[in-house]
Amino acid sequence: MSIDLSQFHQVFFEESFEGLDIMENGLLVLTPNSYNSEEINTIFRAAHSIKGGAGTFGFQLVSDFTHVVETLLDQYRSETRTVSQVGIDLLLESVDVLRSLLDELQAGREPDLTQSVALKQSFETFLASTEPTANAPAINSEPEVSTASEDNSEITEKEIANNSESVSESDKGFWRISFIPSVDIVQTGNEPYRLLRELSELGQTTTVVFTDHIPDFPVLDPEHLYLYWQIDLHGDVQKEQIDEIFEWVVDDSTIEVQWISSSDSAVSEISSEQNVAELTANKELPSEPPVASIQANPTKIEMAENRAPSEITTEQAKVARPGPAATENQSIRVGIDKIDSLINMVGELVITQSMLGQIGNDFSIDKLQRLQEGLIQLEQNTREMQETVMRIRMVPISFTFSRFPRLVRDIAKKLDKQIRLELIGENTELDKTVMEKIGDPLVHMVRNSMDHGIETPEQRIKAGKKAEGCLTLNAYHQGGYIVIEIVDDGKGIDPQVIRRKAIQKGLILESDEYSDQHLQELIFHPGLSTAETVSDLSGRGVGMDVVRRNIQELKGTVELDSKVGFGSTFRIKLPLTLSILDGQLVKLGEETFVLPLTSIIESIEVSPEQLSTVAGETDVIVLRDEYVPVIRLYEVFNIEPRNRNIFEGLVVVVESGSYKIGLHVDDLLAQQQVVIKSLDTNYRRVEGVSGATILGDGTVALILDIAGLLSIVGEQTLKSTSLTKAAS
């Protein structure tokens, strides 16, 4: 029966990636010439586990590479080498290499070994060149598994020369084994009886037991073993097989293995006292036979041919690996408490259902109140279950945040800037899918802040700031959203610089007047970059518009708050769940639409004084000190409304990012939670529509996408209305 190890691969990969994260975080904390025992041990264990798992599950490549990593860490751990910057950097590099090796292996591809081979070489050079402190054990530069079975230790020196000859010929002689266990051998869980049994499986045995060491009863310790044995073993047996059987007890016992050839006339009598006297403390076994050699079956072991176990499993692994492999994590860890909660709630739901079933079975009007109570109960059960289930998909944002210490360190180094990173709110939870997808946009924005936001130490000092810049990632919950802020205390975004660039690129006209806020937000426009020299780090301004689009795809928004000289804050808002929405139902003609409740600022009936026109074509309403463009939804959607007159019906003012628009509808209906159903599963994406939902009466209502509606309205309209009343 052979077990398919590939079923454990996914878990191995997952825990290895986690282990790499642990290693990285630990390495970032280490300082040269210091000894932080706890950190170093943690890092060591992580590397050790990866190596062990890799070997066990057939990833010899990884195991071999990790070996040098482990060796260095072991030296740090045992303080035979002092922690140095070079060592830390090598180890950090190894984390990167391992990540990419494991990535490739997880995806079922053959990894490119150039980097790992080169780095391994660097490790070996490093390990060999610097003189480690104190007494260092010899560097074991070979991974254990690749060694074929070496010559096994001899348990005793009392071997007769004939041994090297064909000892396998049983008629030429036999083995005489004297086995004197130490008195407390059983307290290590070793049973001499078992050892004797194993010997008897190798061949024919004749066993003599000696009882003369047993003390008198009063002084006899029942937990001690006072017996010893002499076993004559006939058969086609190699000495290594016998040694193997005694492998574990060889230090706690006195064991002598002799070959007695039949030609010997005098078979030496072995006396126990003689043995004890002659056989002094056993030497330590210089090397261990590979585990592969432990077998109970008595056939001759051919050590040279015995392939190392990992070789076999590697081949198995190669054959067994299926086609497409998951590149993204397809599993989620859930606390058992959440699962137990859920199970309880399902139980309550069943009770409520059965109660309602009973009422329904034999219904009469006098049961009406009970029915209503039951329905209230049902609503509560459903709501609780819904909340719990959604929480299952939530993970703390720390998973995403964790890559930043390393990233910031590396980039700051590259840019020659001093930047301190602060992470706040790492425990804030968000939907797992959202978390996985927000990582890249965040990285881009952090890079942007580091590159264009935070100044060089000289510039900062000149500006009266501390040489070290501060970058903060802050995550918290607000309403049904998670807010992620990226705050830097750099030089801020200069609207005038952007204005010049935008005019240069033909995005705006010299004569156009815009608010500072609007100008700053032009950084989200494709094709705009504010760097004097385009660094290869952030690339051109292409980055920010892709970032915003990615965030919008997650049904989120991004705002910018920046002050020249002081710094910038990017604020990303993401819904906590992609499947449920608090909605405001609105009526337009015959159709019912759903607006996300969180996007609604207010609904007003427009009076003639409030209405105005901008640039001769766009209707705006004057709301306090802002101009808010109005969209006639019935025009956009080609629906016959009840009211074409904007003064009848309602205008719902909604916002997306920092833009506001007013939507002209016929009526406001109820507010309710709706389940978001995909429109593009069977149809396609429709601009201005983010999905559909099924109302209580079974009909379908479309959910409006405010950001999408904004883009329908058009840049022009929004730009021209972005002037505040004060500025006009």
Please give the backbone phi and psi of residue 726, each rounded to the nearest 5 degrees, phi first. Answer: -60, -35
Report the residue from 702, 706, 707, 710 that binds another protein according to the rule CB under 8 A: 702
In the residue annotation, 477 being an active-site residue is answered as: no
Site string for another protein, 396-415 (x = CB under 8 A): --------------------
Query: Rounded to an integer, what distance in angstroms lies between the CA atom of residue 227 and that of residue 288?
Result: 28
Report the residue from 310, 381, 530, 722 that binds another protein according to the rule CB under 8 A: 310
For the segment 173-212, give every residue that binds another protein (CB under 8 A).
186-191, 194, 198
Q: How far is the CB of 614 from another protein (least distance, A)?
A: 17
Query: Rounded to an integer, what distance in angstroms lies between the CA atom of residue 197 and that of residue 191?
Result: 10
User: Closer CB to another protein, residue 244 or residue 485?
Assistant: 244
Q: How far is the CB of 466 from another protein (least distance, A)?
A: 38
* Nearest-5° Cα angle at 589, 584 to 591: 55
DSSP class per residue in 60-87: HHHHHHHHHHHHHHHHHHTTSS---HHH
Q: Does 144 interact with another protein (rule: CB under 8 A)?
A: yes
Encoded tokens for 358: 């009973």
Site string for another protein, 576-605 (x = CB under 8 A): ---------------x--------------
Q: How far is the CB of 680 from another protein (least distance, A)?
A: 8
511 contacts: CB under 8 Å, gap ≥ 6 = none
Angstrom distances, CA of residue 612 to CA of 6, 606, 626, 652: 69, 11, 12, 17
Catalytic, out of 9, 381, 448, 664: 448
Catalytic, out of 9, 25, 39, 48: 48
Q: Does 63 interact with another protein (rule: CB under 8 A)?
A: yes
Q: How far is the CB of 130 from another protein (least distance, A)?
A: 21
User: Closer CB to another protein, residue 41 or residue 459?
Assistant: 41
DSSP class per residue in 240-305: HHHHHHTTTTTTTEEEEEEEEETT-SSPPPP-HHHHHHHS-SPPPPSS---GGG--SS-SPP-GGG
Only segment of 48-56, 85-93, 348-356, 651-659 that touches another protein (CB under 8 A): 48-56
In the residue annotation, 70 being an active-site residue is answered as: yes
Q: Does 423 interact with another protein (rule: CB under 8 A)?
A: no
Q: Does 81 interact with another protein (rule: CB under 8 A)?
A: no
Q: Does 298 interact with another protein (rule: CB under 8 A)?
A: no
Helix, strand or coil, per DSSP, at residue 674: strand
For the segment 313-372, give every residue that binds another protein (CB under 8 A).
313
Chain centre to alpha carbon of residue 423: 18
CB 631 within 8 A of CB 690: no
Only segment of 281-289, 298-306, 522-530, 651-659 that touches another protein (CB under 8 A): 281-289
SS (H, E, C) 47-63: HHHHHHHHHHCCCHHHH
Report the residue from 511, 698, 726, 728 that binds another protein according to the rule CB under 8 A: 698
In the residue annotation, 448 being an active-site residue is answered as: yes
Report the residue from 295, 354, 372, 673 that binds another protein according to the rule CB under 8 A: 295
DSSP class per residue in 444-500: HHHHHIIIIISPPHHHHHHTTS-SSEEEEEEEEEETTEEEEEEEE-S----HHHHHH
Select from 143, 153, 151 the least CA-distant residue to 311: 143
Query: Rounded to an integer, what distance in angstroms lies between the CA atom of residue 531 and that of residue 431?
Result: 35
Q: How far is the CB of 284 from another protein (least distance, A)?
A: 5
Q: How far is the CB of 495 from another protein (least distance, A)?
A: 28
- What are the strands, taking DSSP E only, across 313-442? 394-396, 419-424, 429-431
Q: Does 311 interact with another protein (rule: CB under 8 A)?
A: no
Report the residue from 121, 140, 168, 299 that binds another protein according to the rule CB under 8 A: 140
User: Closer CB to another protein, residue 528 or residue 633?
Assistant: 633
Q: Does 251 interact with another protein (rule: CB under 8 A)?
A: yes
Catalytic, out of 24, 70, 256, 455: 70
Q: How far is the CB of 618 from another protein (least distance, A)?
A: 12
Only segment of 154-162, 227-235, 349-357, 707-715 that touches another protein (CB under 8 A): 707-715
Site string for another protein, 632-651 (x = CB under 8 A): ----xxxx------------
Query: Rounded to an integer, what distance in angstroms lies between the CA atom of residue 313 and that of residue 60?
Result: 9
Q: How far is the CB of 607 from another protein (least distance, A)?
A: 27
Select from 432, 703, 446 the least CA-distant residue to 583: 703
For the segment 665-694, give every residue that binds another protein (CB under 8 A).
677-679, 681-689, 692, 694
Q: How many residues bind another protein (CB under 8 A)?
A: 83
Q: Does 302 interact with another protein (rule: CB under 8 A)?
A: no
Select from 444, 429, 441 the least CA-distant residue to 399: 429
How buried is residue 357: exposed, middle or buried, by Cβ count under 10 Å (0-12/13-18/19+)? exposed
User: Closer CB to another protein, residue 29 or residue 497?
Assistant: 29
Q: How far is the CB of 545 from another protein (least distance, A)?
A: 17
CB 578 within 8 A of CB 631: no
Q: Does 135 interact with another protein (rule: CB under 8 A)?
A: no
For the segment 205-244, give every residue that binds another protein (CB under 8 A).
223
Tally helices (H) and strands (E) across the chain: 21, 22
Only segment of 279-287, 466-474, 497-505, 531-539 that touches another protein (CB under 8 A): 279-287
CB 484 within 8 A of CB 572: yes
Encoded tokens for 560: 């910018």
Which neighbouring-strand residues pair with 659?
656
Helix, strand or coil, per DSSP, at residue 714: coil
Q: How far is the CB of 280 from another protein (least distance, A)?
A: 17
For the segment 477-496, give every residue that binds another protein (CB under 8 A).
none
Q: How far is the CB of 98 from another protein (least distance, A)?
A: 15
Which neighbouring-strand residues pair with 105?
none
Query: Rounded to an integer, what distance in angstroms lies between the CA atom of residue 186 and that of residue 193?
Result: 10
505 contacts: CB under 8 Å, gap ≥ 6 = 527, 528
For the segment 4-33, give every residue that binds another protein (CB under 8 A).
5, 7-9, 11-12, 14-15
Report the residue from 20, 23, 40, 57 that binds another protein according to the rule CB under 8 A: 57
Report the residue from 359, 542, 597, 712 that binds another protein according to the rule CB under 8 A: 712
Q: Does 164 interact with another protein (rule: CB under 8 A)?
A: no
Query: Rounded to an integer, what distance in angstroms lies between the CA atom of residue 408 and that of residue 419?
Result: 7
> Active-site positions?
48, 70, 448
